[in-house]
């Protein structure tokens, strides 16, 4: 279909789960991909699959999205290789699901470092080039619990509410610069990440990563001048 032909797309957390499925779907649409995560071996595996799926070019960058130095280098090498960044997909995320009394400060900080600071740093790193070009799209994989809360998810929900606030304010701030800001808010999705949750329904009802990826593609492939703000996607049966 080539919906993303000549589009340079940075995807964080691209080494498995939802990020992998976004990478492979975008590859089929002919995008040039920059795949980001901390584990280089996993990234290389996805790079091979993305090239087989039709990606025009694939660069992998090992980086921790919560580290400003590594994120800045990621943006620099992406720009050096491709000359521009058209779409940033902020997808990397971590979650610890347990009662507040059992949540350690380390876990709390890890969630805020990746889910909130990581989105801030990656967005900040790509914005100057987008502003110079006068176009771009920041798409963040938030969560349906960025708008509602669940028991045993207080810290995680707090990070996703924070991300919703950050991106909604950013949308107003950079609209005039020609840059779109969109969010996908998925419900339970069958990934490694979701394996860490407790007290939730049986896995059979969950979304697949590719369901979320299709929502991201829908957002990313709108004509210029059309902005999809938020897409909430969840399983038909979601009783948690
Ligand atoms: O998670 P998982 P999902 N720096 O664990 C990477 C949201 N979400 O695909 O760094 C850079 O399979 C990690 O790679 P590595 C969720 O909040 C999910 O389910 O090598 N990258 C891997 O590629 C998140 O925002 C559900 O460990 C880092 C990827 O992130 C997004 O969906 C429901 C990193 C995580 O893959 C993708 O999650 C919902 C770092 N510091 C929202 N830390 C759900 N699954 O049910 C991790 O509402 N990564």
33 pLDDT band, cuts 50/70/90, is very high
Q: What is the mean pLDDT of the chain?
A: 95
Residue 45 has pLDDT above 70, yes or no: yes
Above pLDDT 70, what percent of the chain?
96
DSSP for the chain, written as a single string: --TTTT-EEEEETTTSHHHHHHHHHHHHTT-EEEEEES-HHHHHHHHHHHHHHT-SEEEEEE--TT-HHHHHHHHHHHHHHHS---EEEE-------S-GGG--HHHHHHHIIIIIIHHHHHHHHHHHHHHHHT-EEEEEE--GGGTS--TT-HHHHHHHHHHHHHHHHHHHHHGGGTEEEEEEEE--B-STGGGG--S---GGGSBPHHHHHHHHHHHHTSPTT----EEEE--S----
Return the pLDDT at 239. Answer: 64
Out of 41, 93, 163, 216, give the residue to mutate to test ligand 1, the one with the largest number of ligand atoms within 8 Å of its CB: 93
- Given a contact cutoff of 8 angstroms between Cβ atoms, the answer to whether 167 and 138 are in contact is yes
pLDDT band at 96 (very low <50, low <70, confident <90, very high): very high
13, 140, 191: residue to mutate for ligand 1 pocket, most atoms within 8 A of CB: 13
Output the pLDDT for position 240: 66
Please give the distance, rounded to the nearest whole angstrom, from the Cα atom of residue 176 to the centre of ligand 1.
Answer: 31
CATH code of 8-233, in short, is: 3.40.50.720
Residue 74 has pLDDT above 70, yes or no: yes
Residue 67 has pLDDT above 90, yes or no: yes
Q: What is the pLDDT of residue 183?
A: 98
> Where are the chain's structural domains?
8-233
Q: Is 65 in the pocket of ligand 1 (CB under 6 A)?
A: yes
The answer on pLDDT for 161 being more than 90 is yes
pLDDT at 200 > cutoff 70:
no
Catalytic residue among 156, 192, 218, 240: 156
Task: Answer whether residue 203 shows pLDDT above 70.
Answer: no
Determine how β-strand 179-186 pairs with β-strand 230-233: parallel
Predicted local confidence at residue 205, as pLDDT: 81
Q: Is the CB of 41 under 6 A from ligand 1?
A: no
pLDDT band at 55 (very low <50, low <70, confident <90, very high): very high
Q: Does residue 153's CB lie within 6 angstroms of at least one atom of ligand 1?
A: no
Arithmetic mean of pLDDT, 182-202: 83
| Residue 156 annotated as catalytic | yes
pLDDT at 198: 64
pLDDT at 230: 98
Core vs surface per residue 74-90: b (16+ CB within 10 A) or e:
bbeebbeebebbbbbbb
Centre a 10 Å sphere on the Cβ of residue 236 and count the other Cβ atoms it contains: 6
Q: What is the average pLDDT across 6-26?
A: 98
- Separation CA 90–CA 224 (nearest Å): 20
Q: Phi and psi for 222 in degrees, rounded to 5?
A: -70, 150
Q: CA separation (Å) from 143 to 115, 174, 214, 237?
A: 11, 22, 15, 16
Q: What percent of the chain has pLDDT over 90?
A: 90
């Amino acid at each position: 279909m080539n919906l993303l032909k000549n589009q340079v797309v940075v995807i964080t957390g691209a080494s498995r789960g939802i990020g992998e499925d976004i990478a492979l779907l975008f590859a089929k649409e002919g995008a040039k991909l920059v795949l980001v995560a901390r584990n280089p071996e996993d990234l290389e595996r996805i790079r091979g699959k993305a090239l087989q799926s039709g990606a025009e070019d694939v660069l992998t960058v090992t980086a921790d999205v919560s580290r400003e130095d590594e994120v800045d280098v990621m943006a620099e090498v992406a720009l050096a290789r491709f000359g521009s960044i058209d779409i940033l997909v902020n997808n990397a995320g971590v979650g610890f699901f347990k009662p507040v009394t059992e949540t350690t400060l380390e876990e709390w900080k890890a969630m805020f470092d990746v889910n909130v600071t990581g989105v801030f740093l990656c967005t900040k790193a790509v914005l100057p080039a987008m502003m110079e070009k006068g176009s771009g799209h920041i798409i963040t994989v938030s969560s349906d619990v960025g708008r509602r809360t669940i028991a045993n998810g207080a810290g995680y929900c707090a990070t996703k509410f924070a991300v919703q606030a950050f991106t909604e304010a950013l949308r107003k701030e950079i609209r005039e610069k020609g840059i779109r800001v969109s969010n996908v808010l998925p419900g339970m999705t069958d990934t490694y990440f979701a394996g860490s949750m407790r007290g939730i329904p049986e896995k059979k009802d969950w979304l697949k990563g590719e369901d979320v990826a299709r929502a991201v593609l829908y957002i990313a492939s709108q004509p210029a001048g059309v902005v999809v703000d938020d897409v909430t996607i969840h399983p038909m049966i979601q009783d948690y």
